[in-house]
Structure 1
Amino acid sequence: MKISHKVIIFSNLVLAGVSVGIMQNNAKADTATSDNQTAQVAQVQAATATESTATVSANAADTQTSSSDELTATQVQAPQANVQAATDANTQAGEQPTDQPIATKIDGGVVTVGNQQASLYDGNGNKLSVSIAPNSGWITDQKLSTQAGDTYYRVSTDAYANGNDVTLTFGNNKSGVVRVKGWGAKTYNRNDSGFSDASNGNLAANTSWQFNKTNDLNGITYYQVGTNLWINSNDATDAPAYSNPAGWLQIHNTQIQPEGTVGYDLYNGVEGIKVYLVRKLFGYSNSHTIYDGNVINSVRSFQAKAGLPVTGVTDLATWKAMGYSEDSWYGIDSYIAPLLTNENSSRSDHIEAMITQAKKYIGQPWVSGAASSPDYGVDCSGLVTQAMYAAGIDPSPVGSIQHAQPGHEWNSRDMWADWRMPHIAASQRQRGDLVFFTDPSTGIIWHVGILLDANTMIDSWPGTVGTSSIYSGKGNIAGYARVFS
């Protein structure tokens, strides 16, 4: 852009609603955020020069300027830029530009500054002393193209960045998986004015693609699945292939995190794997894995001999003095089965993930209140909890840490009472459903297993984790509940 010696705003370069008095009191820079491209909000403030103020008329022919040494100063304040800006003082009244740039509207563009700060120019090519910060992103709504082949992008009312100093991109940084619908997906390229046919043919129906950007335009969402190759929400969706109905336990497509205190102390009434190991250290039976009075007394004696505070509570210091590692103190508590499903998983995939995780515990001992990793034993509801985690189901408030706390040993009862897993008729039971049993003497729920078929389950029963018939004498069958609709 040739630097002019007269400040002129061409009316065809001014968007509707943008003030043409840009050299007066203030003008606000429009910036935006694009996830990893952090767009910074800049406030453009005008400070009037001491003797006279340059003004710009909406009518280019009537534009007048003050002397070249007394133009209005501007300042851009941004997180990485705070510099006093003034228009380049090489304008002189009466001289007409010889290279009028061509303005093109840009829909949804973002320009990102490189590793060096980028200078700004006004609409006539006059270099401003203001610069925008390195590695910052700015919304742009207009491109100026000069006869000399230069390109400038508007980032404020009358402030343009040179195309050599910035990179123009479109859309928001967002990653995920998009699935093509049954008729295939047309492909598009993104340009300044929007999307155009890429002429690459369609992506195959019912295929899945990783995307790294989205761009919403005219009520349609576009997904970038290749280098400037996009498909849109008319032909594809990032919604999961399967989801449970409203009111059911909902499916998570990201790794579920532990809920509760990771690294909890052991005190009266606590159960689970850490209690199991402490009881084992002192030679106690694990027919019922509970931190009881006998364990408390043994811990007190141990603490006294080890020079630790005699509390009877096993904390991290006592745990380590017993010879166990700090990693195990937290690792036992924090284990959540790795997610084995994703957005593309079908109902069958979720059921198989649940059963796959449960099978990892086969042969491990039954441990009351335990719901940790396959390195250790579990009880019946602990097994089901970890199996659900692997399939993307969080049964909270039932949880792996909660299960070990006093009063929560019988999570099978809480699962049976959870209306988010609807009860089903015995005639409708199938693989992946839960089967519940009652204590024959009380009629109260006391056991749960995962159906492998109509008559076989995987469960943890005092002794070990394994598979067995649902008619193997583990109580009276109370009924069945469905995790996946």
Structure 2
Amino acid sequence: MNKKAKLSFVCGLALTMLAVTTQQTVKADTTTDNNQVTTTNDSQTQAVSQATAAVSEAVATDQQADQAVTPATATADTTDQTNTAATTDDNTTSADQTATTQADASAANVTKIKGIVTTKGQATQLYKQDGTLITDRQLGPNTPWFTDENLSYNGKSYYRVATNEYTDGNDVILTYGNAADGIVRVKQSGAVNYSRTAQGFVKSGQPNLGANSVWKYNRTDSANGLTYYQIANNVWLNSDDATTAAAYQNPNGWLQISNSQIQPSGGNVGYDLYNGVEGIKTYLVRKYFGYSNVHTIYDGSVTASVRALQARKGLPVTGVVDLKTWEAMGFVESTWYGIDSYVAPLQTNITSTRSDHIEAMINQAYKYLGQPWITGAASSPDYGVDCSGLVTQALYASGVDSAPITAIQHAQPGHEWNSRDYWADDRMPHVNFNDRQRGDLIFFTDPSTGIIWHVGILLDKNTMIESWPFAVQVHSIYGGRGNIAGVKRVFH
């Protein structure tokens, strides 16, 4: 029975006794004399005193009960304040602070860290700092969470993911640093292997990695002014020993070298064919209709033939070759997109030297040897190319993207003469003719107009690989290609 209930019960009892006594007094007054009344009044006073005493005793008993309950209440309040103090941040009362201190003392072994914990394939329980299970929420499966604190409690390890919210170390996978994606190159002195612990990076004792070896990393971290790269499960290199910079790069203002595969650009992969378009798809369409490819261009004759075909096949009569018309000619969808999307596979990486880049360019050019000269063409070695198309694909293989001069752009109307665009491109400086060397580009002009009309790749001072009517070949620079306009350098 609580205090109020007890008090109400006792008071009610006293009033009942008082009422009974009063009734007795009234009856006595009507039948007895004053002495009896006095006696009765004394009895009434005694009854009231007894009732008052009973109330006092009950109150005293209730107060004792209160005192007996206080430690349990205080304990409950302290536990509640502990939770509140851990959940709230800076706004703590003195009681909260005491409770927090008690919780910290029982927790012990808190280590500050900077990492990521990723939950496993199931929902993950959360716990308070004192080990109490949080029942109203969980972490989703396979999700990453930042953690800044490792808590050792009752022989188990926990990671803080929110204020006073921790995951069991057995339920998550701890990683350090930030997710990343890149390539790192070991410097000439080799690279020490490190492991990451809660205290920081320590040497793993594994053999050093070899100079100029290349590694893919998936996380980065920093410590003591150094960047660390994770190249395997808890295997790290630092920026003293490794770098993301290429061994060779052109100066600013030159065509820059990419260490990742170049992607198609300069137009749509799967572009339609219409008046003025050149390149491989036009070459195949002209060949289908029996037209000469001395000059491969989509002209009026091709348009008329395409319209007639479309009419026969029940297609919209547009005179434009789209994918449906292409397939109506017996060609397949894969070539419609594949011809446009071809970019020579990268043959260099961040360890490549200047010489490596030059050789990659020339090696790609040799893959076209013997293929026909086709105007506006710059696709794979399965087909022919023209002179500037050969250069474009050779550059791709060496890591150089010459956009806006591209393989797709070359086939579009008005871009047949990409040799002129390369000649005008300031990202490839002119060099003295007498200083020419392997890997330079050599340009020629039309003797009748003086306008640039041809480009080749120098193999040495006097020989080049080129695409000249009617095939890709190795030829002397003095072999009737027009007047030599000059030489430009791709690699510094």
> What TM-score, normalized to structure 2?
0.79
User: In 2, distance between residues paired with 1:429 and 1:58?
Assistant: 83
* Cross-structure match for 2:239: 233
Instruction: Say if 1:106 and 1:140, in contact at 8 Å, map to a contact too.
Output: no
Stretches of structure 1 that go unaligned for 5 or more consecutive residues are 11-18, 29-54, 65-95
Q: Does the 8 A contact of 1:173 with 1:212 survive in 2?
A: yes
Stretch of structure 1 that moved more, 193-202 or 312-321: 193-202
Whether the aligned pair in 2 keeps the contact of 1:8 and 1:124 (CA below 8 Å) is no
- AA aligned opposite 1:166: V
Taking a change above 3 Å as real, the CA distance of residues 353 and 20 of structure 1, as seen in their structure-2 partners, is farther
Letter in 2 for 1:224: Q
Opposite residue 460 of structure 2, the aligned amino acid is D
SS of residue matched to 1:100: helix
**Aligned 8 A contact 1:265 1:314 in 2:** yes
**What pairs up with 1:197-216 in 2 under 5 angstroms?**
197-200=203-206, 202-216=208-222
Q: Note the C-alpha offset of 1:21.
A: 4.6
Q: What is the match of residue 455 of structure 2?
A: 448
Q: How does 1:18-97 map to 2 (within 5 A)?
A: 21-23=85-87, 57=93, 62-63=98-99
The answer as to 2:262 corresponding to 1:256 is yes
Change (3 A) 1:111 1:441: same
Distance in 1, matches of 2:412 and 2:443, equals 22
Give, as a single letter, the amino acid of the residue that structure 2 aligns with 1:257: Q
1:450, CA displacement in angstroms? 0.6
What is the CA distance between 1:225 and its match in structure 2?
3.1
Aligned residue type for 1:125: G
Aligned to 1:430: 437
Matched residue type, 2:79: V
Deviation of 1:249 after TM superposition, in Å, equals 0.9
- Contact in 2 for aligned 1:144/1:152 (Cα 8 Å): yes
**Residue in 2 that maps onto 1:222:** 228
Q: Is the 8 A contact 2:443 2:484 kept in 1?
A: yes
Which structure: greater helix fraction? 2
Residue 196 of structure 1 is aligned with which of 168, 177, 202?
A: 202
Q: Cα offset for 1:235?
A: 1.6
Give the 3 Å change call, closer, same or farther, for CA 20–247 of structure 1 in structure 2: farther
Q: 1:124 aligns with which of 130, 133, 136?
A: 130
Structure 1 counterpart SS, 2:195: strand
Residue 417 of structure 2 aligns with an amino acid whose one-letter code is W
| Unaligned stretches of 5+ residues in structure 2 | 1-74
Cα deviation code 1:169-212 (max 9, x no counterpart): 11233343322223332332210121123233543444333433
- Residue 180 of structure 1 aligns with an amino acid whose one-letter code is V
Q: CA deviation at 1:230?
A: 1.7
TM superposition shift of 1:104? 3.0
> Residue in 2 aligned with 1:408?
415
Name the residue aligned to 2:480: 473
Residue 174 of structure 1 aligns with an amino acid whose one-letter code is A
- 1:184 is matched with which residue? 190
- Counterpart code for 1:413: R
Please report how far the alpha carbon of residue 331 of structure 1 lies from its aligned counterpart in structure 2 after TM superposition.
Answer: 1.3
Which has the larger strand fraction? 1
- How far did residue 97 of structure 1 move? 6.8
Q: 1:112 aligns with which of 109, 113, 118?
A: 118
Task: Name the TM-score, length of structure 1 as normaliser.
Answer: 0.80
What is the distance in 1 between the residues matched to 2:397 and 2:472? Answer: 18
Does residue 1:137 correspond to 2:209, yes or no? Answer: no
1:447 Cα offset (Å):
0.2
Counterpart of 1:166 in structure 2 is 172
Partner of 1:77: none
Contact 2:445/2:485, CA 8 A, preserved across alignment = yes
| Residues 424, 480 of structure 1: 8 Å contact kept | yes
Q: Aligned partners of 1:257, 1:203: CA distance in 2, in Å?
A: 32
| Paired AA for residue 401 in structure 2 | D
Equivalent residue of 1:344, what SS? coil
Deviations for 1:364-404, whole angstroms, at most 9, x for unmatched residues?
11001111111111100011111111111111111111111
CA distance in 2, matches of 1:386, 1:433: 15
Q: In 2, are the aligned partners of 1:57 and 1:63 still within 8 Å (CA)?
A: no
Distance 2:292 2:103 in 1: 95
- Of residues 341, 347, 361, the one that matches 1:340 is 347
Paired residue for 1:7, among 65, 79, 104? 79
Q: Is contact 1:9-1:124 (8 Å) kept?
A: no
What is the aligned partner in structure 1 of residue 4 from structure 2? none
Structure 1 residues 400 and 58, CA, compared in 2 at 3 Å: closer, same or farther? farther
Cα RMSD between the aligned structures? 2.5
**Match of 2:290?**
283
Matched residues in 2 for 1:9 and 1:234: separation? 50
Aligned to 1:76: none
Of 405-414 and 304-313, more deviation after overlay is shown by 304-313
Report the alpha carbon displacement of residue 464 of structure 1 after superposing the two structures with TM.
Answer: 0.5
Structure 1 Cα separation of the partners of residues 104 and 429 of structure 2:
77
How far apart are the structure 2 equivalents of 1:374 and 1:61? 76
Q: Given residue 373 of structure 2, which amino acid in structure 1 is its aligned partner?
A: W
Task: Measure the CA separation in 2 of the matches of 1:97 and 1:478.
Answer: 83
Deviation at 1:9, TM superposition (A): 8.2
Displacement of 1:326: 1.6
- 1:355 lines up with 2:427 in the alignment: no
Aligned twin of 1:151? 157
In structure 2, relative to structure 1, the CA distance for the partners of 1:61 and 1:458 (3 Å cut) is closer
Return the letter of the residue paired with 1:470.
I
On the 8 A contact 1:354/1:387 being kept in 2, the answer is yes
1:278 and 1:332 map into 2 onto residues whose CA distance is 13
Identity, in percent, stands at: 59
Shift of 1:456: 0.7
Deviates more, 1:340-349 or 1:385-394: 340-349
Q: Using the alignment, how far apart are the partners of 2:243 and 2:95 within structure 1?
A: 49
Which letter maps to 1:283? G
Partner of 1:82: none
| Equivalences, count | 415
